[in-house]
Amino acid sequence: MKKRILTGIQTTAEQFHLWNYFGAVRPMLELAKDPNNEVFLFTANMHSFTVVQDWDALRKNTLNALKLFLAVSPTPETFFIYNPAMVPAHAQLTWVTLCLTNMWVLERMHAFKDKVQKWKQNEASVGLFTYPSLMAMDILLYDANNVPVWKDQKQHVEYTRDLAMKFNRIYGETFVIPEAVIQKDVAIVPGIDGQKMSKSKNNYIWLLDTEKQILKRVKQIATDAKRIEDPKNPDECNVYNILKLFLSPEENISIRKRYIDWGLSYKEVKDYLYEKIIEFVIPIQQKFDAISDEEVKKMLQINAKKANEIATKKVDEVYKKIGFIL
Ligand code: ADP
Ligand code: TRP
């Protein structure tokens, strides 16, 4: 039996920045290379609706995310890409999760508390509050074994596990207990201001940025005031911390040596980073441009059929066990 690895990526922005790719998409590409794995990747646009309620934006974000999944994957056939909004079972079973979850369990969720703190209390929707219950069903519907997520999502996966165990205990074996795979080996990727690269901080470099935009962003990366003749610590340098994502082990050793030795200017290292980003993004952008909206919609129709086949069985099983249908 193949191991089923499943994750969703939010569509809260028009496209992906470098961190979204290196932190979330690339690990899935790596996992898809192993023939023992089966990788399910989806656009979490029902989740994004908790914050993005402009229909043009949500539609565009979803379409772009799907095209980017296809554009970055050298073998899209090893990925099963779908849109849960085309699978009614997500919403159908979320009602069950909500009824089986005590209020206090959701009240202590860090992700909710963080978001509410950033906004005014009364701006948070009930959907945002119950977001983990939808996420739990995204996972349990498909019998996922592993769920790769960044550490801020760990609590949501733990809640999913508790819920699955509780259900199995009360109603009999129904759900596979998933395990979170926390991507701790991927360090925080800094944005151009040195803080964590984030959509909300305007410090990102998008995968679809033009050469001109990338050049501007790279020039803006904050550095210290060390001179050419000063030895430098690469690990403390924002330029290096982005650059290292693109380097082979040999290139990495060689540039680290240049930092520690004499004679490296930030201008030189920024030029190097610019070249590396361009070399990386151009083929992705070319593939992205070649994918038509129709192609994406067709893929979604086909894949929704398979997703519905899996998910509907689960709904039937659950609805029968809990006494909804006879
Ligand atoms: P953003 O911070 O850009 O709004 P999201 O909220 O969509 O991104 O974050 C997606 C996931 O990636 C979250 O789990 C978040 O903690 C993680 N993440 C986002 N940016 C970074 C970063 N620069 N380095 C490490 N993890 C990040
Ligand atoms: N909540 C996740 C995030 O913000 C996205 C997500 C939605 C997800 N459903 C999921 C991740 C199911 C893994 C499994 O990053």
CATH architecture of 3-188+293-322: 3-Layer(aba) Sandwich (3.40)
- What band does 185 get if pLDDT is binned at 50, 70 and 90? low
E strand intervals along 86-240: 146-149, 179-182
- What band does 117 get if pLDDT is binned at 50, 70 and 90? confident
**Ligand 1 binding pocket mutation candidate from 19, 68, 153 (most atoms within 8 A of CB):** 19
The CB-based long-range contact list for 318-324 (8 Å cut-off, 24+ gap) reads 318/93, 318/96, 318/167, 318/171, 318/174, 319/92, 321/171, 321/172, 321/174, 322/96, 322/171
Q: Which residues line ligand 2 (CB under 6 A)?
A: 6-8, 10, 44, 47, 135, 138-139, 147, 149, 153
Instruction: Locate the domains of the chain by residue range.
Output: 3-188+293-322, 211-288
Mean pLDDT of 253-263: 94
pLDDT at 238: 94
pLDDT tens per residue across span 3-32: 999 999 999 999 899 988 988 888 899 899
Residue type at 280? Answer: F
Q: Among residues of the chain, what percentage have pLDDT more than 70? A: 98
Residue 151 predicted with pLDDT over 70: yes
Reply yes or no on domain 211-288 having CATH 1.10.240.10. Answer: yes
Nearest CA to ligand 1 atom 15: 150
pLDDT at 121: 67
**Residue closest to 183 by CA, chosen among 288, 8, 12, 26:** 26
Nearest CA to ligand 1 atom 14: 150
pLDDT at 118: 81
Task: Quote the mean pLDDT of the chain.
Answer: 94
Mean pLDDT of 230-259: 95
**6, β-bridge pairs:** 40
Residue 324 predicted with pLDDT over 70: yes
312 Cα–ligand 1 center, Å:
32
pLDDT tens per residue across span 173-182: 999 999 999 8
- What band does 285 get if pLDDT is binned at 50, 70 and 90? very high
